[in-house]
C-alpha cells in the first residue's frame, strides 16, 4: 500500500517548506551529550520511538493497514502538535540553546521518520531524505 503524498503528506510537506526557510541558515550540529530539556522535544522523540516499535510489530503481522494508520497518525502529531507548538522557538532571533535543541530534535525526528515511512510513501520519504542531506553535507 503506497500512500499518495499529495493527500496524506501535504501537511508535512507544507511544514517542511516553511521550516526549511529557517533551517537554511542553520548547519545541523549533532550535540553528542546534549540533554533534551524541552517537554515537546521529549514527547515527539518518545512518540517516534513508539511509532517505530508499533509499525514494526504491525508489519511483522502483515497488518499493513494498521501500520499505515500509525504513520499517518504520527504525521498529525508532528505537524499539528510539535511543529505548531515549536514555531516560536524556531523563529526566535539568535541561536540559543533551546533553538539549537529544537532544530536538532526536528532533524532527528525527520531523519528517523522517513525511514519508517519509506515502505508506505517511498517517493515523499526519499524527497524529504534528500532535502535533509543538504544540511549534513555542508
Burial class, 41, CB count within 10 angstroms (exposed 0-12 / middle 13-18 / buried 19+): buried
In the CATH scheme, what is the code of domain 39-136?
1.10.730.10
- The share of the chain scoring above pLDDT 70, in percent, equals 74
The pLDDT value recorded for residue 104 is 86
Residue 15 scores a pLDDT above 70: no
Q: Which of 113, 39, 22 is nearest to 70 (CA)?
A: 113
| Whether the Cβ atoms of residue 40 and residue 85 lie closer than 8 Å to each other | yes
Could you tell me if 122 and 2 are in contact, meaning their C-beta atoms sit under 8 angstroms apart?
yes
- The answer to whether residue 2 scores a pLDDT higher than 70 is no
- Hey, where are the domains in the chain? 39-136
pLDDT digits (tens, 9 = 90+) for 76-134: 999 989 988 888 888 877 777 788 888 888 889 999 999 999 999 898 889 888 888 87
Q: For the chain, what is the mean pLDDT?
A: 80
d(CA 22, CA 13): 15
Residue 4 confidence (pLDDT): 47
Answer with the residue of higher pLDDT: 114 or 26: 114
CA 75 vs. chain centroid, Å, equals 8
User: Is the Cβ–Cβ distance between 36 and 105 less than 8 Å?
Assistant: yes
Amino acid at each position: 500500500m503506497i500512500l499518495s503524498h499529495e493527500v496524506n503528506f501535504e501537511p508535512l510537506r507544507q511544514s517542511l517548506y516553511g521550516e526549511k526557510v529557517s533551517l537554511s541558515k542553520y548547519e545541523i550540529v549533532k550535540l553528542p551529550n546534549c540533554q533534551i530539556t524541552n517537554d515537546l522535544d521529549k514527547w515527539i522523540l518518545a512518540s517516534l520511538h513508539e511509532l517505530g516499535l508499533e509499525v514494526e510489530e504491525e508489519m511483522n503481522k502483515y497488518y499493513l493497514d494498521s501500520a499505515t494508520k500509525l504513520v499517518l497518525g504520527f504525521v498529525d502529531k508532528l505537524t499539528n502538535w510539535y511543529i505548531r507548538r515549536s514555531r516560536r522557538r524556531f523563529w526566535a532571533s539568535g541561536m540559543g540553546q533551546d533553538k539549537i535543541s529544537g532544530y536538532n530534535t526536528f532533524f532527528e525526528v525527520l531523519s528517523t521518520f522517513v525511514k519508517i515511512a519509506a515502505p508506505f510513501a517511498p517517493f515523499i520519504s526519499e524527497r524529504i531524505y534528500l532535502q535533509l542531506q543538504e544540511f549534513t553535507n555542508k
